A and B are shown apart, each in its own frame.
Chain A
Amino acid sequence: MQVSSTDPVIRTESLLVELGGLPILRDVSIEIGRGELTALMGGNGSGKTTLVRTLLGLIPHQGGQVELFGISDRDFHDWQRVGYVPQRGTVNIKQATVAEVVATGRLSVRRPFAPAGKVDRQRVSQALEQVHLADRAHRPFTQLSGGQQQRVLIARALVGDAELLVLDEPFAGVDLGVQDSLAALLGELNQQGTTVLVVLHETGALTPLLTNAIVLREGRVIHVGTPPTEPDHYHEQDERAEDRLLRGLIGESH
């Protein structure tokens, strides 16, 4: 399957998603090009997570179109090109080493009943090196810090040769220093050619690295394009993230 490299990595047109009869996403048309580092932003309940879950095929959509790498989601089967990093809290890992968790990402290319080959093991150690956790391969996943667990989940998404990384709130529950190093890691991966879509509450440490921002509000796109130029201030927690965004991005006219 030859796909032209100018096709956007993600494209939606007039996307409609309803959950329990309520429209959660309305008329969402976005485009994410190859090599971009895009922030998907918005307040609580704005539909950010629903949008990424729809893009990943986890939620059906009731209208409009979704294309991945230029192919309609109905015909898309190249899931090894997409790496999903869910919110850390949704992962239920009780008993596993770091390497075992990362190795599950290879299942997009491994066949059932086939034991892991040399390439699979190499890719696991490469992915752990990429996230700077090579020395933790045989430690229990549950005993890592929050930031380290997030890195493991990023490695798991990378190990299947993903060209697109989709991260859902990677900064949730990790301290500021760790946010900085996770942001630097995403920047590195983006430099190496990985397209990155990251759901964020506030841009924080990622601000200087972003190439693009999409802002949702109540299920509609209210901004596409320029990312904010200044990071949100970490300690202004009295102000709603959404309000800050709107001021920073959309200027005084709204």
Chain B
Amino acid sequence: MDIFTLAFMQRALIAALLAGLTSPAIGAYIVQRRLSLLGDGLGHVAIAGVGLALATGTAPLPMAVAVAVVGAVIIELLRQSGRASADVAMAILFYGGLATGVLLAGVVGQGTGMLSNYLFGSLLTITEADLWLIGGLAALVGAAAIGLMPQLFAVCTDEDFAKTIGLPVRFYNLLIVVLAAITVTVSMRTVGLLMVSALMVVPVAAANNALTGFRASFFAAIGLGVTAAVSGVIGSFYLNAPPGSLIVVIAIALFVLSLPLAGLRQRQRSAMPVIEITDPTPMPHQETDLHADHLHGPDCGHRAVIHGDHTDYLHNGHRHAPHGDHYDEH
């Protein structure tokens, strides 16, 4: 039997493709901004939307989109307020969302069985109407994530600088969390709301290990995300497991494979260790002649150590610093 001829599998595969495309695209910005768990929180908030839809008998996807976007705006406004209590407020919002969703689904007798399709992903429940909406939302996310790449990158790396060059930083910050909320709901059917954050973060982390540069690892992360999402959906058909779990396991396997690459790149040049001068008494002045064929410097290839206000270079048991026409042994 060819799974590609089954209508529900075709829909599931298209949904997986869209989830795999959009999740790492927005995840790249979220990881750069060190907000890796934001997607998880937004997923919890979206559960309230699903519960609300089940309770009112409306379509779950549009309701989840609406609730997650409202939650995202609240989260960003709390973060921008800069209050210490914002952290706690976000936690209340996240668990409030989760609890409300489960409660509402339970009240109308749908129970957690129905809800688990949304929590862990499902191959069978994707309708054609869902697919159109997912496609539209994915196009929106993709256009913004790629078209506004320089602006969003600038805002994620250095807000102050972005403000001084006249970028509307508050707007872009809001845009990032709203896009993340939309992405969460795009992936809801495939990966499930509890694990959607993994597809946003893990492929990005793997790509960051393997490659240099934001743009290069952005597109590599999308490639890894699509690989994990599509192969997870195909595998879950044969294993009869929820697709979300397999997608996340595959993504993490890809991450583990990327770890040796990170080690390799790290060894090329690791950050210089720092030795602080705590005793103000100067060391005895011990000179070493200039090496005839070698001048120590930032690129000389020897391990360097920051020593107080200067740099020492290490080789053959020596640790010395340039001083006039000779080196001082330190």
The answer to whether A and B come from one shared complex is yes
Distance in angstroms between the alpha carbons of A56 and B161 in the assembled complex: 9
Who on chain B is nearest to A85 by CB?
B161
Give chain A interface residues in 125-181, CB to chain B under 8 Å.
138-140, 143, 145, 147-148, 156, 160, 175-177
Is there contact, CB below 8 Å, between B167 and A107? Answer: yes
Who on chain B is nearest to A87 by CB?
B160
Is there contact, CB below 8 Å, between B160 and A100? Answer: no
Distance in angstroms between the alpha carbons of A113 and B148 in the assembled complex: 6
Is there contact, CB below 8 Å, between B150 and A79? Answer: no
A42 on the B face (CB < 8 A): no
What are the residues of chain B within 8 A of A106 when measuring CB–CB? Answer: 150
What are the residues of chain A within 8 A of B23 when measuring CB–CB? Answer: none
Is there contact, CB below 8 Å, between B157 and A101? Answer: yes
A84 on the B face (CB < 8 A): yes
Is there contact, CB below 8 Å, between A177 and B322? Answer: yes
Is there contact, CB below 8 Å, between A95 and B208? Answer: yes
Who on chain A is nearest to B207 by CB?
A95
What are the residues of chain B within 8 A of A176 when measuring CB–CB? Answer: 309-310
Give chain A interface residues in 52-105, CB to chain B under 8 Å.
53, 56-58, 77, 79-80, 82, 84, 86, 90-97, 100-101, 103-105
Is there contact, CB below 8 Å, between A95 and B213? Answer: yes
* Distance in Å: Cβ of A80 to nearest Cβ of chain B: 7
What are the residues of chain B within 8 A of A29 when measuring CB–CB? Answer: none
What are the residues of chain B within 8 A of A211 when measuring CB–CB? Answer: none
Is there contact, CB below 8 Å, between B161 and A86? Answer: yes
Query: Interface digits, B122-166 against A, CB 8 Å rule (1 contact, 0 not)?
Result: 000000000000000000000000011011011011101111111
What are the residues of chain B within 8 A of A251 when measuring CB–CB? Answer: none
User: Are A91 and B150 CB-contacts (below 8 A) given A107-B165, A145-B298, A175-B310?
Assistant: no
B33, B148, B213: the one contacting A112 at CB < 8 Å is: B148
What are the residues of chain A within 8 A of B213 when measuring CB–CB? Answer: 95-97, 100, 138, 140
* Distance in Å: Cβ of B26 to nearest Cβ of chain A: 15
B215 on the A face (CB < 8 A): yes
User: Are A177 and B310 CB-contacts (below 8 A) given A100-B153, A104-B157, A107-B165?
Assistant: yes
Number of residues on chain B facing chain A (CB within 8 A): 40
Number of residues on chain A facing chain B (CB within 8 A): 46
B1 on the A face (CB < 8 A): no
What are the residues of chain A within 8 A of B265 when measuring CB–CB? Answer: 140
A184 on the B face (CB < 8 A): no
Is there contact, CB below 8 Å, between A156 and B166? Answer: no
What are the residues of chain A within 8 A of B156 when measuring CB–CB? Answer: 92
User: Are A143 and B269 CB-contacts (below 8 A) given A57-B163, A93-B158?
Assistant: yes
What are the residues of chain B within 8 A of A104 when measuring CB–CB? Answer: 150, 153-154, 157-158, 161-162, 165
Is there contact, CB below 8 Å, between A116 and B150? Answer: yes
B272 on the A face (CB < 8 A): yes
What are the residues of chain A within 8 A of B304 when measuring CB–CB? Answer: 145
Distance in angstroms between the alpha carbons of A86 and B201 in the assembled complex: 28
What are the residues of chain A within 8 A of B158 when measuring CB–CB? Answer: 86, 90-93, 104
Distance in angstroms between the alpha carbons of A77 and B164 in the assembled complex: 10
B311 on the A face (CB < 8 A): yes
* Distance in Å: Cβ of A236 to nearest Cβ of chain B: 10
Is there contact, CB below 8 Å, between A140 and B157? Answer: no
User: What are the nearest 6 A-B pairs in CB distance?
Assistant: A108-B165, A79-B166, A104-B154, A97-B213, A84-B164, A113-B147
Interface residues in chain A, defined as those with a beta carbon under 8 Å from any beta carbon in chain B:
53, 56-58, 77, 79-80, 82, 84, 86, 90-97, 100-101, 103-108, 110, 112-113, 116, 138-140, 143, 145, 147-148, 156, 160, 175-177, 234-235, 237-238
